[in-house]
Amino acid sequence: DGGITQSPKYLFRKEGQNVTLSCEQNLNHDAMYWYRQDPGQGLRLIYYSQIVNDFQKGDIAEGYSVSREKKESFPLTVTSAQKNPTAFYLCASSLRTGHGETQYFGPGTRLLVL
Amino acid sequence: AQSVTQLGSHVSVSEGALVLLRCNYSSSVPPYLFWYVQYPNQGLQLLLKYTSAATLVKGINGFEAEFKKSETSFHLTKPSAHMSDAAEYFCAVTGHGSSNTGKLIFGQGTTLQVKP
């Protein structure tokens, strides 16, 4: 089955710790995205990648980093600089970026701070 | 710049009643509009998408939405609510333009409650 997988489902972070969220897709999509979801605020774009070895900051990139070494994978690292990391993180992909492309979402990772 | 406003953070209907979830958008260029549904602790699933081919768009699970340019609206409807429709619904917009990257701009979301 084609789709997007995210792991882990739940992740706990201690103060000062970096944690990495995994996102993998087997849809052969060029574009991948990371969103953060907070209650009552909809989804906000953290980073996106249009092609392998290239990525761009979204609206709330501070405290996060990404890499895109393979077409299928787009991991997100939440660094210690992100002071309020508790949220639901959603990864998405689309065939390409651009006008009207449909984004398909993974099941999400919930990050909690200990 | 594009923006989306969803009127009503919570909507409650009885099973079998009409569902109406409101979405208004702001865009300086012709938009593409989307409705997504999210069940608790899950990702978003596409319900339907407007791409200018037709103003009335039919989606999955009996939902449809009508694009009204004069009202800058894209409201989501379903004639008869089912208990399984209880979820959070998001309206989103992306626009045209040379700087467009396909970024989705989401509304705040509307939680639909269906009462038996």
Distances (CA, A) of B10 to B22, B61, B79, B90, B114: 11, 20, 18, 12, 11
A44 to chain B: which residues are within 8 Å by CB? 106
* Chain A interface includes B59 (CB < 8 A): no
Chains A–B, number of C-beta pairs less than 8 Å apart: 65
Q: What is the DSSP string of A20-79?
A: EEEEEE-S--SEEEEEEE-TTS-EEEEEEEEETTEEEE-TT-TTEEE--SBTTB--EEE-
Count of other CB atoms within 10 angstroms of residue B68: 12
CA-nearest residue of chain B to A46?
B103
With an 8 Å Cβ cutoff, are B95 and A99 in contact? Answer: yes
CA-nearest residue of chain B to A50?
B101
Residue A77's nearest CA partner among A55, A105, A107, A103 is A55
* Chain B interface includes A63 (CB < 8 A): no
With an 8 Å Cβ cutoff, are B32 and A100 in contact? Answer: yes
Confidence of residue B103 (pLDDT cuts 50, 70, 90): confident
Q: Is A109 helix (H, G, I), strand (E, B) or coil?
A: strand
Of A4, A41, A97, which has the smallest distance from its Cβ to B102's Cβ? A97
- Which DSSP letter does residue A18 get? -
Smallest CA–CA separation between B10 and chain A, in Å?
11
For residue B33, the one-letter residue type is: L
Write out pLDDT tens, residues A68-81. 999 999 999 999 88
With an 8 Å Cβ cutoff, are A106 and B43 in contact? Answer: yes
Strand partners, A37: A43, A88
CA distance A113 to A71: 30
Please answer whether residues B44 and B90 qualify as being in contact, where contact means their C-beta atoms are separated by less than 8 angstroms: yes
Write out pLDDT tens, residues B19-35. 999 999 987 777 889 99
B51 to chain A: which residues are within 8 Å by CB? 100
CA distance A91 to A49: 11
Higher per-residue pLDDT: A101 or B64: B64
- Contacts with B2 (C-beta within 8 Å, 6 or more apart), sequence order: B25, B26, B27, B28, B31, B93, B94, B95, B105
Per-residue model confidence as pLDDT tens for chain A (114 residues): 669 999 999 999 888 899 999 999 999 999 999 999 998 788 999 999 999 999 999 999 999 999 999 999 999 999 988 889 999 999 999 998 777 789 999 999 999 988
- Contacts with B113 (C-beta within 8 Å, 6 or more apart), sequence order: B10, B11, B12, B13, B86
Of A4, A96, A100, which has the smallest distance from its Cβ to B51's Cβ? A100
Please answer whether residues B110 and B9 qualify as being in contact, where contact means their C-beta atoms are separated by less than 8 angstroms: yes
